[in-house]
Amino acid sequence: MLNQCVLTGNLGDDPVSHYTPEGTAVATFSLAFNTSHKKKAPNWIKVTCFQKLAEVASQYLHKGARVGIVGTLDQHKWTGDDGNTRSTFQIIASTVEFIKTDGRGFKEGENNDEVPF
């Protein structure tokens, strides 16, 4: 069974990062994307990155940056305080393509077109 998603959108906030107790880097951010060419409110989905990709995303991405995401769709289910089952979807990113950033995170003199992946 194939599970691959490709989305292009803009970050809704700066990435939030942390390390697991095992030392794995994790970064999450919300991604706004459109489903049609008509002007309407965007859809939102959470994106999670791991390891080196998480470190790079935390360092170079920011609110408003335009990115392309390739990853797998993951459904998270839990039971709410009211006893009802809830669920949400997220993308577990395998690739993040920088389309447009303002250069934050790059050192003086670095070429902003070259991201260290």
Cα torsion through 16, 3, 77, 91, rounded to 10: 10
Residue with tokens 């991201």: 115
Q: Which domains does the chain possess?
A: 5-35+42-100 (2.40.50.140)
Separation CA 87–CA 78 (nearest Å): 6
Q: What is the pLDDT of residue 41?
A: 86
**Span 22-64, pLDDT tens digits:** 999 999 999 999 887 777 888 999 999 999 999 999 999 999 9
pTM: 0.81
